[in-house]
Amino acid sequence: MNKKFITLYRHIIDEERKYPDATGQLSDLLADIALACKVISLEVNRAGLIDIMGLTGTENVHGEQVKKLDEFAHDMLVRAMKVSGHLCAIASEESEDFIPVNEKFMGERPMSKYIIHFDPLDGSSNIDANISIGTIFSIYKRTTESGPGTLEDCLQLGTKQVAAGYIIYGSSTIMVYTSGKGVHGFTLDPTVGEFLLFYENIQIPKRAKTYSINEGNYSKWDSGLKEYVDDLKSANKDTGRPYSARYVGSLVADFHRNLLYGGIFMYPGDTKNPKGKLRLLYEANPLAFIVEQAGGRATNGKERILEIVPLDLHQKTPLFIGSEEDVLEAERFLAGK
Ligand code: P6P
């Protein structure tokens, strides 16, 4: 746990200095994301009150449209990202197509070097039950030379990410990000409105005794996965069984807990949904980048998530992610070994 009073922006700038050719654009972009998520955090925390205060309906006290929270989060992020000037394209879980952004210039120097994928408010169906939900983002350098971004800029291997992170709106609002040199966590102090460093260089335990999966789908799993989960529930001191089942049903909440304490999160494919439910570009890839930077592992049960070739903005992938030894063991069961 870190006791230094370091704000997110100070940390981002310190990270930027580790890259000699950095122009500061990525730092600005990360700060813009954090600002947008502070506003989303306010709205998420107010959501319960809106119902209590009877403010639902088509307009709120300011005469503004009261939107569904995930639409609100999407609109807030799109506005912040367009203003930033650092993006040539924006892809969102809430938008069927990507949003091309006209290139901006600083004098003669072109800006708009990046593209971003985000899930603006993953797990939003849980908000009424006051369960933690989250924003997930993934940033790449553009591959095209100039002009508004293209689909080619958006469909890159996860290994090409330059930064990724999530903001979890729970008992407190926490931002976790990596720009390729470790994983760092910040807690929003609402009294000063700053994200303050709480954990530098997070490392996920190599093995733990927690597994996260929706066992309601058991009958649709393949045999190797059934054997693995059955084994996790067996009583065997030699192999550290039984494990504890922890499943919130909110990806960011389950992932964040396992990142800090260790464990394996699984959303497998099954007979009904062979590719599972989670999306490669704005859920699996950013969390895979983070978990690998924290010493963990992320695969689709066979291949490294970051090496899956993206063919569609919203393509799904099975996801096995968390403590390295637990994910490797799950893969052995899936391979029938
Ligand atoms: P299931 C939330 O709807 C979500 O997209 C993720 O946040 C979560 O991990 C998953 O779906 C839960 O899905 O099928 O177990 O309810």
Ligand 1 centroid to residue 24 C-alpha, Å:
35
Mean pLDDT in the chain? Answer: 92
Q: What is the pLDDT of residue 52?
A: 45
Whether pLDDT at 58 is above 80: no
Structure tokens at 312: 């569609």
d(CA 279, CA 315) in angstroms, rounded, equals 6
Q: What is the pLDDT of residue 307?
A: 98
Q: What is the pLDDT of residue 48?
A: 63
Whether residue 158 sits in one domain with residue 262: no
Q: Please give the torsion angle defined by the CA atoms of residues 247, 252, 253 and 255, in that order, rounded to the nearest 10 degrees.
A: 70
Q: Name the amino acid, one letter, at 95.
A: S
Nearest CA to ligand 1 atom 3: 123
Q: What is the pLDDT of residue 51?
A: 54
Element (H, E) at 12: helix 8-16
Whether residue 266 sits in one domain with residue 307: yes
Band the pLDDT of 54: cuts 50, 70, 90: very low
Residue 279 included in any domain: yes
Residue 147 included in any domain: yes
- Indicate whether residue 214 lines ligand 1 (CB < 6 A): yes
Whether pLDDT at 67 is above 80: no
Higher-confidence residue of 72 and 90: namely 90
- Cβ atoms within 10 Å of 206's Cβ, excluding its own: 14
Q: What is the pLDDT of residue 2?
A: 52
Band the pLDDT of 205: cuts 50, 70, 90: very high
Among 199, 218, 235, residue at a domain's last position: 199
Q: Are 82 and 106 in contact (CB under 8 A)?
A: no
Helix (H, G, I), strand (E, B) or coil at 305: helix
Phi, psi of 99 (to 5 degrees): -105, 105
Q: Are 87 and 115 in contact (CB under 8 A)?
A: yes
Residue 39 included in any domain: yes
- Indicate whether residue 215 lines ligand 1 (CB < 6 A): no
Whether residue 235 sits in one domain with residue 194: no
Whether residue 282 sits in one domain with residue 184: no
Nearest CA to ligand 1 atom 16: 249
Whether pLDDT at 203 is above 60: yes
- Indicate whether residue 48 lines ligand 1 (CB < 6 A): no
Residue 192 included in any domain: yes
Nearest CA to ligand 1 atom 4: 123
Q: Are 204 and 294 in contact (CB under 8 A)?
A: yes
Q: For a substitution probing ligand 1, which of 122, 131, 168, 213 has the most ligand atoms within 8 Å of its CB?
A: 122
Question: Where residue 284 sits, what CATH number does that domain have?
Answer: 3.40.190.80
Whether residue 10 sits in one domain with residue 98: yes
The fraction of the chain above a pLDDT of 90, given in percent, is: 78
Whether residue 32 sits in one domain with residue 162: yes
For residues 62-86, average pLDDT: 80
Ligand 1 centroid to residue 67 C-alpha, Å:
22
Residue 205 included in any domain: no
Whether pLDDT at 64 is above 60: no
Whether pLDDT at 161 is above 80: yes
Q: Give me the numbers of helices (H) and strands (E) for the chain, helices first please.
A: 8, 15
Q: Where does 160-233 show beta strands of DSSP type E?
A: 161-169, 173-178, 183-189, 194-199, 210-212
How far, in Å, are 104, 122, 285 from residue 49 at the CA level? 40, 20, 34
Residue 243: DSSP 8-state: P
Residue 158 included in any domain: yes
133-141 and 161-169 as β-strands: parallel, antiparallel, unpaired? antiparallel
Whether residue 171 sits in one domain with residue 26: yes
Whether residue 167 sits in one domain with residue 230: no
Whether residue 166 sits in one domain with residue 62: yes
Q: What is the pLDDT of residue 56?
A: 43
Residue 125 CA: nearest ligand 1 atom is: 3
Write out the residue range of the structural domain in which residue 178 sits.
2-199
Whether residue 263 sits in one domain with residue 167: no
Helix (H, G, I), strand (E, B) or coil at 121: strand
Whether residue 235 sits in one domain with residue 188: no
Among 170, 199, 228, residue at a domain's last position: 199
Q: Are 132 and 180 in contact (CB under 8 A)?
A: no
Q: Are 201 and 190 in contact (CB under 8 A)?
A: no
Q: What is the pLDDT of residue 62?
A: 44
Residue 35 included in any domain: yes
Q: Are 290 and 134 in contact (CB under 8 A)?
A: no
- Domain count along the chain: 2
Residue 204 included in any domain: no
Ligand 1 centroid to residue 172 C-alpha, Å:
21
- Indicate whether residue 122 lines ligand 1 (CB < 6 A): yes
For residues 217-226, average pLDDT: 98
Q: What is the pLDDT of residue 180?
A: 95
Question: Where residue 176 sits, what CATH number does that domain have?
Answer: 3.30.540.10
Ligand 1 centroid to residue 277 C-alpha, Å:
8
Helix (H, G, I), strand (E, B) or coil at 303: coil
Whether residue 216 sits in one domain with residue 156: no
Higher-confidence residue of 325 and 84: namely 325
Ligand 1 centroid to residue 247 C-alpha, Å:
10
Among 199, 226, 250, residue at a domain's last position: 199
Q: Full-prediction pTM beyond 0.85?
A: yes
The fraction of the chain above a pLDDT of 70, given in percent, is: 93
Q: What is the pLDDT of residue 3?
A: 59
Report pLDDT digits (tens) over 291-334: 999 999 999 999 999 999 999 999 999 999 999 999 999 999 99
Report pLDDT digits (tens) over 97-152: 999 998 888 888 878 899 999 999 998 878 778 899 999 999 999 999 999 999 99
- Cβ atoms within 10 Å of 303's Cβ, excluding its own: 13
For residue 123, give the nearest of 27, 255, 15 by alpha carbon.
255
For residues 209-219, average pLDDT: 98
